[in-house]
Structure 1
Amino acid sequence: MATFLYKLGRLAFRRRIYTALVWVALLALSGIGASAAASAGSSFSIPGTEAQKAFDLIDERFPGSSVDGAVARVVFKAPEGQTMASPENRATVEEVVKALPAGSDQIGQVVDPYKANAISQDGSTAYVAVSYKVTTLELTDDTRTSLEDIGADARKSGLTVEIGGDALQAIPAAGVTEVIGVAIAAVVLVITFGSLIAAGLPLVTALIGVGISVSVIASLAGAMDFDSTTSVLAMMIGLAVGIDYALFIVSRYRSELADGHEPEEAAGRAAGTAGSAVFFAGLTVVIALVGLAVVNIPMLTKMGLAAAGTVVVAVLVALTLVPAVLGFAGKRVLGKKARKKLERERVASTPGKPNMGTRWARFVLRRPAVVVLVGVVGLGVAAVPAASLEMGLPDNGSQPTSTTQRKAYDILSDSFGPGFNGPLVVVVDLKGADNGEATVGQVSDAVKGVKDVVAVTPATYNEAGDTAMITAVPKDRPSSVDTENLVHSVRDAGGEVASDAGVKVLVTGATALNTDFSQKMNDALLPYLAVVVGLAFLLLMLIFRSVLVPLKAALGFLLSVVAALGAVVAVFQWGWLSDFFGIEQTGPVMSMVPIFMVGTVFGLAMDYEVFLVTRMREAYVHGEQPREAVETGFRHGARVVTAAAVIMMAVFAGFAGSGESMIKLIGFSLAVAVFFDAFVVRMAIVPAVLALLGDKAWWLPRWLDRLLPNVDVEGDQLRKTLERNTHGSGRGPDSDTDWNKPMARV
């Protein structure tokens, strides 16, 4: 592997113009494809669940119902002392109903509140229910604008008019905080390298890779039915790994230049050594993201595949475009200040003047047992809130209070009860029933008898009369644990009638779908962990030729991810520091976040494991003692790994400032997880454990050593080959201070 990547790096360096043109052409073509592509889809399904089966039955038996279409509720609130029954207020509502043409290209049905009893008991509130034939992201801008204009015109009457539902749901977009995150990454790169050229190179190449990936996702959005957040999540992960992977290649290139190699040789060696680590680190991330398919939820699978594709592009960019751009930069990646800094580092690397990484490693090695104990206990304390984790899916109640969706949600909650925003739909399949009407009545009575059901509407039948729908309104808000329990109670009540009458009774609706989704996430977490950790364990055995190092890496990951979940629960569920993070509504954690976080963080955690420990492995196979190897690994890798972790945290924290609740939660969880994993696990617990294990850390049974192929991530075979075949002919000037020789021609 190292030899192949060495040749690839040198080829990209020599053919830098062609390599750069290929990537620029890919960026242009993907951009053209994105601009010409159809809009993204937003269908959401959970195969095999009761809620999904009920949705499918409604779609089959009630043609034209558009169960997955967008919905809107135009909510009217009368001024103090008035009611919606007054002629003036009624006229305003009727004008809104007329302005929404039912049966048009996009609007399916519009329900007049005065004909459907959609008025609160005190008469102060009414709402017009609008169902659309298309999904939220398929709504045209004209349709959205028309809906907003209708609401604005209605407000002129003096009524409070807000629009709920998902029809006005905005597509997540990059904002100021994301830009700040990238800016912080740029500052960290400048500090790390001391050169604007070296700092700008990882940013430019990462942005090119992300641009291609996001454009391809946009091009495929219509055909693949990608969710609206897919491209944002891909951008988040792509930026983080893209910058970090380029950072490691550039850092190794500078190190090879400092050792006296000519630029082309330095680029090849950087690609062969750091590039090997990048390849396998990226592979662990891809395994973790592709592994999301085992959950068997199409939306999550697509998100994982899209993000994995972004990581693949980031790896390819790091292995080809980065060496090509280094060909244009040559030795200019080492500015005057950077050269002086490297000179100081070479001096500091002597036993008398250790650098910061060496000093930290020595501190850990002096008291490894204490470091392990403090690290494990600290992460354990942070993980305590995770025991109270509650999961659900967000509704308009989690929107910022300034939005019209949240205002409409609050008005409906106050006027009709908290559960009105999340009704349960009970579907009765009457095929084969002798007396369908009586059976539906029994189901309705059973549902009414369930505690915390505050209202049950009369049954609605399809044209064939073989299917009925009953709506039940819970007492509590949709995202509450009590409502989740109520879903199971209603199913139990309906199931008893169904078994006696020989019919099917299914419970669905957004609230029931969220409940099933959360349950499926819980059920899938352990199998997912087993698949992903198992595959990654085998991969790490290939890389490190060890059994205990991969085991230690996996256990460290579990510590960091549980601690991160604890932080998520404390902030987003319990409300600790919620004002600081701009969280207006606390409650259950979004169901998909824990498993998505587990997959992503596992991949990123293995990144740091590979980048840091390969340096230790490299020193160990070259004859150093275990403790010396740990110190050497930190002397060469701690500073760069620290910079990489800070960059990732900055990028993820930037997305944590998003106005979209899901993006905010994922950004926060990933930033915290990277902090715990990089600085507590990889930088403290890992070297301490390696010190305690000694030579045993690198033990591998002989029979297994013979079976496993040698991937040579540390570049040992490459180095031997170069020394044997070239006898140093690839080296540049022997003098470490000979920086002023003419740069290789570009």
Structure 2
Amino acid sequence: MNDAGPLGRLARLAYRNRGRTVLAWLAALMLAAGLSAAFGGDYAADYSAPGSDSSAAEQLLRERFPAQSGEVVDVVVRVDGGVATAQGDVRALLDELSAAPHVAGVDDPFTAPGGISPDGGTLVAHLRLDVTNPNDMPHADTHRLLEIADAADRPGLDVALGGQAVALAEQGEIGSEGIGLLAAAVILLLTFGSVVAAGLPILTAVAGLAVSGTLTGLALRFVDAPDWSTALATMMGIGIGIDYVLLMVTRFREWRAAGLDPEAATVATLDTAGRAVMVAGGTVVVSMLGLFAMGLSFMRGAAVVTILGVFVVMAASGTLFPALLGYLGRHVDRLRLPLGRRRAAEVAVGGHIEPSRRWLAWSRFVQRHRVVSALAGVAILLALASPFLGVRYGFPDAGNDRVETSTRQAYDLQAAAFGAGANGPLVLAAELSRPGDVSALDGLRAALAATPGVAMVTPPQLNPAGDTAVLTVQPQTGPQDKRTEDLVHRLRDETIPAATAGSGATVRVGGVTASSIDSTENTARRLPLLIAGVVLLSMVLLLASFRSVAVAVKAAAMNLLSVAAAYGVVAYVLQGGWAGQLIGIDTETPLPSFVPVLMFAVLFGLSMDYEVFLVSRMREAWNRTRDNSRAITEGLAGTGRVITAAAAIMIAVFAAFVPSSNIVLKMIGIGMAAAILVDATVVRMLLVPSVMHLLGRANWWMPRWLGRILPELHVEGQPERHLPVPPEPEPETALAGAGSR
């Protein structure tokens, strides 16, 4: 047997030093935990668009109005007989709330402009917290505020709290890792029929997840990442960790059936399937690196946390997995479940494993009907993608929360009493040319009030230095309404320049609503950069892996179709119809612009995983037979079962996050589960083989000049190097054979 490649040699080293390898992983886990405990950072996310008008307004307010820069909790009170009849109860409630931890102060709604609704039945008071980031507010202290509000609530007097800190506390913990792991375990047991074989992917993925999860705290020391980024990294870590090891366990069993001993089978597995795993992981990393092109800090943070998880999983697949095989390799088929008779692996001529008859039958069916199969696959993907044409971008707010939450009740109470725009006021920061020079502010306020779409403008408030003023503009329409977006542009482009001309004052339009609009537009402008960069880099990686122009171009095109289909599913669910209600979306909900960006980066990488798994086996058969039809048939039949199982695991992991109360995770979960389902069925099992049958031998063509430039990765490995050498015939047998001739 010839020497193995680098991965094979690494596998042999880990196999022979399995005890040290396992101890090294335990030491890495303890070291990571210690470093994170000592130097770990906190979650932070800035969703504003860098360099935008709203970002400048926020920065100005933070510098000039530090007292108003803290997080705010809205206290909404509705009294049947009018708030004037319950003034004592309201003040007692506000006094108790102001005494709670982290509450720095509270406005007096009876004297503050706009504190009481026009009909006198509802008031809004603002609790100012001593934290600027809602993630820094302890959930226990927020729940204390909710308890005080619930105690004051009684028939005829309704109390509700709103604000981001309240929303985070009501969401609770993010993540459903246990559900995903349990579902993955069941699928693995059904796939392998053996507890040992099913346990190997789980053990490897959990070990990788434990190390990467503890390292996340250390990463937060250097990058700003949102709280949901760890849930995303967990999804990816569990999903790809189990999928990668699933592929290698399958290949290990094939090598054992081919007659290799456990150590040789381990080396052969890493030298063949291990190469595909590393290339697949590389495509995921390349896709996530595309998020850096967006220029958004929270995107970079989410990418860093996820890439960290992918790297750890790849390391576990290359070192911990072969070490575990050192202990369990001889017993990989032990503890079998009574799941009926299973076909024993048969070693065919040439050393490869004969695939199941069902997958061979399906592969030959696609070959016979390749034109119809290709057209049907494209039609299905386009039909699924069509709802995305009517998608509405924006940031979900409290109006999209569950009806039983306090934030949703506060939102509805404010909208009913003050108008839809009360939940999305625009905050204008005016920097004066000279301290105390307020001459331009009266004209500005009058011009703002006269602008179509404006319901109310509060009097300007000056900071102590007298060089900056704040005005609040309440639109007539809600924060998600297209007319509110038009109003923001009208104020910036027409009203404010005309009202401040010659005054020297600089006015910025900010607030949550304006920031959402700016972020959406900024992301839309940068999205083509992400798509072009990720697609180009992935194509280069596939060109080097498979030495084929057709494979690279086809993979990019089909992955784009797969991602578009996932977008369409998400858009359809967000319409709030029957499909949305199944997963807890009961009202029409806008799509945050960063969600399609994030989904694209993740899904393009995951789609490439299945492409690598499938085409690597096809190329292996092509190199052996030089028969295109046979290569496609054998590749599809040989990987159909493992891709189906891997996809089922990934779907279960992502679907486990659909019940989350976090709307972003809910969207990502349903979109990715749908995308993996479509990709593993319509794309990999139907569209890819049918198109490759149509292309014929052109599948494996690449210009010579390009072949000389690109490195050759040999992603399929060289399986023939690991086949057992037939035993030499005994001398007596050889002589007898010669005599008979």
> TM-score scaled by structure 2?
0.92
Distance apart, 1:17 and its partner CA: 1.2
Residues 178 and 657 of structure 1 are in contact (CA less than 8 Å); yes or no, is this contact kept in structure 2?
A: no
Q: Tell me if 1:99 matches 2:96.
A: yes
Q: Is the 8 A contact 2:78 2:121 kept in 1?
A: yes
Give the drift of 1:430: 1.9
Report the residue type matching 1:169 in the other structure: A
* CA distance 1:91–1:163, shift in 2 (3 Å): same
**Which deviates the most, 517-526 or 601-610?**
517-526
Distance 1:173 1:303 in 2: 20
Alpha-carbon distance change, 113 to 653 in structure 1, aligned in 2, over 3 angstroms: same
Q: 1:353 to 1:283 in 2, by over 3 A?
A: closer
**Partner AA of 2:342 in structure 1:** K
SS at match of 1:659: coil
1:339-364 deviations in Å (ceiling 9; x for gaps): 97352666999999952221111111
Amino acid at match of 1:468: A
- Superposed, which structure 2 residues align to 1:191-590 within 5 Å? 191-221=190-220, 224-335=223-334, 341-343=342-344, 355-431=357-433, 436-492=437-493, 493-573=495-575, 575-590=577-592
Q: Assess if the C-alpha contact under 8 Å between 2:195 and 2:335 holds in 1.
A: no
**Mapped pair 1:52 → 2:51:** no
Residue 509 of structure 2 aligns with an amino acid whose one-letter code is: V
Sort the Cα spacing of 1:366 and 1:351 in 2 relative to 1 into closer, same or farther, 3 A.
farther
The answer to whether the Cα contact below 8 Å between 1:258 and 1:342 also exists between their aligned partners in 2 is: no
Question: C-alpha distance in 1, partners of 2:227/2:286?
Answer: 23
Q: CA deviation at 1:622?
A: 1.6
Within 1, Cα distance between the matches of 2:524 and 2:444?
30
Which of 691, 694, 719 is the equivalent residue of 1:692? 694
**Structure 2: how far apart are the matches of 1:17 and 1:615?**
33
Report the AA paired with residue 93 of structure 1.
V
Q: Which runs of 5+ in 2 are unaligned?
A: 728-741
1:654-683 alpha-carbon deviations (Å, 9 max, x no partner): 111211111111100111111122211122
Please give the per-residue CA displacement for 1:472-516, whole angstroms capped at 9, x wherever unaligned.
111222122222222212212213334554432211100000001
Q: Deviations over 1:520-560 (max 9, x none)?
A: 12111111101111111111100010111110000001111
**Contact persistence 2:539–2:556 (CA under 8 A):** yes
Contact kept, 8 Å, 1:573 with 1:589, in 2: the verdict is no
2:150 maps to what in 1?
Answer: 152
Aligned AA for 2:633?
A: E
Structure 1 residues 547 and 482: CA distance shift in structure 2, 3 A: same
Q: Deviations over 1:419-463 (max 9, x none)?
A: 101100122222269x94232223222322222211111111222
**1:10 to partner: Cα distance:** 1.4
Alpha-carbon deviations, 1:56-101, whole Å to 9, x = none? 11112223332xx3210121121x3x11101xx2112212332344
Q: Measure the CA separation in 1 of the matches of 2:111 and 2:561.
A: 58
TM-score by length of 1: 0.91
Cα distance in 2, alignment partners of residues 190 and 711 from structure 1: 33
Contact 2:425 2:473 in 1 (8 A): yes
Deviations 1:387-419 (A, max 9, x none): 112111121112111111111111111111111
Structure 2 counterpart of 1:676, one-letter code: V
Residue deviations 1:606-646 (CA, integer Å, cap 9, x gap) = 00000110000111112331110001112221110111111
Residue 111 of structure 2 is aligned to residue 115 of structure 1: yes
Measure how far apart 1:264 and its partner are. 0.7
Q: Which amino acid is 1:90 matched to? A: Q
Name the structure 2 match of 1:3.
5
Give the Cα separation in 2 of the matches to 1:607 and 1:282. 7
The separation in 2 between residues aligned to 1:35 and 1:402, in whole angstroms, is 37
Separation of aligned partners in 2, 1:626 and 1:101: 75
Which whole-Å CA distance do the structure 1 matches of 2:36 and 2:154 have between them?
Answer: 40
Identity %: 37
Partner of 1:40: 43
- One-letter identity of the residue aligned with 1:216: L
In structure 2, relative to structure 1, the CA distance for the partners of 1:415 and 1:115 (3 Å cut) is same
The whole-number CA distance in structure 1 between the counterparts of 2:67 and 2:601 is: 39
**Equivalent position of 1:743 in the other structure:** none
How far apart are the structure 2 equivalents of 1:376 and 1:582? 30
In the superposition, relative to structure 1, how do residues 668 and 345 fare at CA in structure 2: closer, same or farther (>3 Å)?
A: farther
Does the 8 A contact of 2:281 with 2:609 survive in 1? yes
3-state SS in 1 of match to 2:496: helix
* CA deviation string 1:245-298 (max 9, x = no partner): 111111111111111111011111111111111101111101111210111110
What secondary structure is seen at the aligned counterpart in 2 of 1:64?
A: helix
Distance 1:652 1:471 in 2: 41
- Whole-angstrom CA distance in 2 between matches of 1:141 and 1:457: 33
> Does 1:127 find its partner at 2:124?
yes
> Using a 3 Å threshold, how does the CA distance of structure 1 residues 65 and 174 change in structure 2: closer, same or farther?
closer
* CA root-mean-square deviation: 2.6
Report the AA paired with residue 483 of structure 1.
Answer: T
Alignment of 1:595 with 2:591, yes or no, is: no
Q: Which AA in structure 2 matches 1:602?
A: F
AA aligned opposite 2:486: N
Distance 1:73 1:173 in 2: 19
The answer (yes or no) to whether the contact 1:178–1:651 under 8 Å persists in 2 is yes
Given residue 600 of structure 2, which amino acid in structure 1 is its aligned partner?
V
1:218 Cα deviation (Å)? 3.0
Question: Which residue, 136, 139, 146 being the options, matches 1:138?
Answer: 136
Aligned length: 717
Offset of 1:120 from its aligned partner? 1.1
Distance (Å, rounded) in 1 between the aligned partners of 2:568 and 2:258: 45
3-state SS, counterpart of residue 73 of structure 1: strand
TM-aligned CA deviation for residue 105 of structure 1? 8.0
